[in-house]
């Protein structure tokens, strides 16, 4: 299974009772799942959402088999346009997850901290960018691709063949001669800029009495598999 997107979010709010926290987590998953089904142009995928208390911390993941990703990419013309289109869809799903996660706490005026990562899909796009710049040869690019996808390449034998063709057809950027002047700014650091600030001594933390806290995991291994829920005490 290939990870094509993760979303971390943190909301600094008080803990909820177990029943309400479980309801919040499962409803969030259901809303996210419904949105992903509408926006993500892939024939199949997996979804998982882990939510922890102590404020609200969560991690959402979208996974896909290489075969399903290959079919999805093929819907959008070229290899690179398929990757970019699916990336936009995954980013949209990540934005939606963060938006819906914070909606029940809008009255607190707490802004969620959200981090989004494209994972293996972004790594694949980076390969194209580096080939285009001349930083990687086709053979190097193929070696890295096989390392990324590993045994998953057995699921779609045509994937690597089409990937090689797409890389070979990628036009190279015009090469520019590097100038020594480009590095002048790096050499002109002042003494003030080079000074390392002294670390401040951390203030002692007063341990607080923690209420019972829980972790809720919700996931589907595929679009048509059953929804699984696990609640554990932290």
pLDDT above 70 (res 232): yes
Give CA–CA dist 37/223, Å, rounded.
Answer: 8
Residue 175 resides in a domain: no
Give CA–CA dist 146/229, Å, rounded.
Answer: 34
Q: What is the mean pLDDT of the chain?
A: 85
Residue 123 resides in a domain: no
Q: What is the DSSP string of 138-170?
A: HHHHHHHHHHHHGGGGGG-HHHHHHHHHHHHTS
Strands, E, within 84-224: which ranges? 113-117, 214-220
H or E element at residue 37: helix 18-39
Give CA–CA dist 200/191, Å, rounded.
Answer: 21
Q: What pLDDT is stored for residue 202 in this prediction?
A: 60
* Cβ atoms of 157 and 73 closer than 8 Å: no
Strand order in the sheet with 228-233: 113-117, 2-11, 56-64, 46-52, 214-220, 228-233
pLDDT, tens digit, 9 for 90 and up, residues 174-230 = 765 544 444 434 444 444 444 555 666 665 554 444 567 899 999 999 999 999 999
Domain count for the chain: 1
Q: Kindly state the average pLDDT of the residues 106-127.
A: 90
Residue 34 resides in a domain: yes
pLDDT, tens digit, 9 for 90 and up, residues 58-113 = 999 999 999 999 999 999 988 999 999 999 999 999 999 999 999 999 888 888 89
Residue 20 resides in a domain: yes
Percent over 90 (pLDDT), the chain: 62
Q: Kindly state the average pLDDT of the residues 141-160.
A: 80
The pTM (predicted TM-score) of the whole model is 0.81
Residue 181 resides in a domain: no
Residue 39 resides in a domain: yes
Tell me the CA distances in angstroms from 125 to 40, 120, 132, 150, one per residue in order.
18, 9, 11, 17
Q: Kindly state the average pLDDT of the residues 8-30.
A: 93
Residue 158 resides in a domain: no
Residue 75 resides in a domain: yes
- Give the chain's end-to-end CA distance (angstroms, integer): 28
Q: What pLDDT is stored for residue 15 in this prediction?
A: 81
Domain residues for the domain of 107 are: 2-117+211-233
Give CA–CA dist 116/111, Å, rounded.
Answer: 16
């Amino acid at each position: 299974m290939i990870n094509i997107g993760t979303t971390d979010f943190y909301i600094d709010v008080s803990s909820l009772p177990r029943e309400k926290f479980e309801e919040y987590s499962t409803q969030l998953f259901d809303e996210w799942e419904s949105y992903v089904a509408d926006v993500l142009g892939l024939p199949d995928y997996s979804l998982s959402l882990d939510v922890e208390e102590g404020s609200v911390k969560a991690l959402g993941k979208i996974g896909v088999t290489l075969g399903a990703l290959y079919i999805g990419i093929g819907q959008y013309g070229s290899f690179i346009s398929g990757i970019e289109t699916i990336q936009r869809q995954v980013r949209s799903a990540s934005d939606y997850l963060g938006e819906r996660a914070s909606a029940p706490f809008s009255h607190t005026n707490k802004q969620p901290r959200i981090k989004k990562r494209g994972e293996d899909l972004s790594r694949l796009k980076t390969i194209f960018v580096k080939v285009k710049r001349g930083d990687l040869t086709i053979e190097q690019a193929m070696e890295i691709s096989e390392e990324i996808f590993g045994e998953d390449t057995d699921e779609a034998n045509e994937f690597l063949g089409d990937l090689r063709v797409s890389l070979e057809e990628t036009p190279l950027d015009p090469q520019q001669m590097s100038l020594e002047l480009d590095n002048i700014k790096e050499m002109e650091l002042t003494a003030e800029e080079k000074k390392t600030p002294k670390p401040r001594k951390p203030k002692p933390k007063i341990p607080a009495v923690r209420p019972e806290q829980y972790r809720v995991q919700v996931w589907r291994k595929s679009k048509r598999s059953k929804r699984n829920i696990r609640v554990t005490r932290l």
